[in-house]
Chains A and B, each alone.
Chain A
Amino acid sequence: MTASDKDTVDLDMNALDALFEQATNDVGAQPSETFMARVVTDALAQQPMPQFAQPSLWEQITSMVGGWQGMGGLVAATCAGFWVGINPPEGLPTQFETFLGSETSISLLEDGIEDTGMFGFGWDMEEG
């Protein structure tokens, strides 16, 4: 390379740096508005739906009985029932009494047969 060739290249290097600077700010290399809108459309079409956290099992149960208020009422009712069960108030009939009636008595023997306490023994004798 001769000295004059080198001078030419050096000069062009400076010009080239100026060209690069102009190119960096060149609006001709900018995308059009229409194209930008197309990219936005693509982005929104590909966008995942907003993710909502899956409620836990406990949250599902509490929401089923009406949230914390409902759950509080349910717990209070359960405790009260349990307490009445183990320590019923005076005059409150037991469940068995309510079912059968407190004044009812039953006899497992036919009318006229006296329960002597030997009834089973008599059967044993006949079979023997």
Chain B
Amino acid sequence: MPLDAYTDLADDALLAQYSQGDAAAARALIARLTPRVFGHAVRVLGDRAEAEDVTQDAMMRLWKVAPHWRMGEAKVSTWLYRVTANLCTDRLRRKRGVGLDEVDEPLDPSPSVTDQLQTRERMDALQAGLQTLPERQRQAVILRHIEGLANPEIAEILEISTEAVESLTARGKRALAQALAPAREKLGYEDDSI
């Protein structure tokens, strides 16, 4: 099958093809899903190496469940996001038990990054702001505002009600805006034009 043909296939169809020994289907699925899973993990954890571990683990679970996957029952991406979200939660809980001295410092939006490009500076500031949010709020804000998922899908991923998602994202966004307020000038948001 030509590679272009895989772009039209749904995730679960690709997963079924993978189970039947189609290596190209695996590559297509990886190209489609891995960047999304990794992006979520790196924003939640704030650490690329840890995000790689979590992504690798989540993808490995997908390969193991592939032969038993029931077509049309669940969305592969939703399932994968849920696994990733849970793995991130486990990591953050373990980190809390390690002690503050051993945890990497969150990225600081103040003077240490002023020599970087503004885009990088903004992304670092956003990451630092995200790290100040409680874990569930952080996951909800990332899924809603950065990954662009709809509230019902986020509810399925985080295994909470849609109303709870709305509440989490609203509170998270407010808290983030407050956390980043002192850095407005440095981020180039001093005037109203963005």
**B87 located at the interface, meaning its Cβ lies under 8 Å from any Cβ of chain A in the complex:** no
Q: Which of B94-145 contact A (CB under 8 A)?
A: 119-120, 122-123, 125-126, 145
Residues of B within 8 A of A9 (CB): 174, 177-178, 181
**Once the chains are docked, how many angstroms separate the CA of A26 from the CA of B108?**
18
Q: How far is the CB of A42 from chain B (nearest CB, A)?
A: 6
Residue interface bits A15-34, CB-to-B below 8 A is 1, else 0: 11111101110101111000
**B187 located at the interface, meaning its Cβ lies under 8 Å from any Cβ of chain A in the complex:** yes
Partner of A48, one of B19, B119, B177: B19
Q: Is the CB of A39 within 8 A of B56?
A: yes
Q: Is the CB of B189 within 8 A of A15?
A: yes
**B52 located at the interface, meaning its Cβ lies under 8 Å from any Cβ of chain A in the complex:** yes
Partner of B30, one of A23, A28, A43, A48: A43
Interface size on A, residues (CB 8 A): 34
Q: How far is the CB of B140 from chain A (nearest CB, A)?
A: 13
Which of the four size classes fits the interface of chain B?
35 or more
**Once the chains are docked, how many angstroms separate the CA of A9 from the CA of B35?**
32
Residue interface bits B169-182, CB-to-A below 8 A is 1, else 0: 00001101110110
**B152 located at the interface, meaning its Cβ lies under 8 Å from any Cβ of chain A in the complex:** no
Measuring CB to CB, which residues of chain A are less than 8 angstroms from any residue of chain B?
8-9, 11-20, 22-24, 26, 28-31, 35-36, 38-40, 42-44, 46-51
- List 17 A-B pairs, Cβ < 8 Å: A8-B181, A11-B184, A11-B192, A12-B178, A17-B145, A22-B119, A23-B146, A28-B120, A31-B34, A31-B38, A35-B38, A39-B56, A42-B63, A43-B18, A46-B60, A48-B20, A50-B21
Known: A14-B192, A43-B59. 9 other contacts (CB 8 A): A19-B187, A22-B122, A23-B123, A35-B56, A39-B55, A42-B59, A43-B26, A47-B21, A47-B26
The 3 A-B pairs at the shortest CB distance, nearest first, are namely: A50-B21, A46-B63, A12-B177
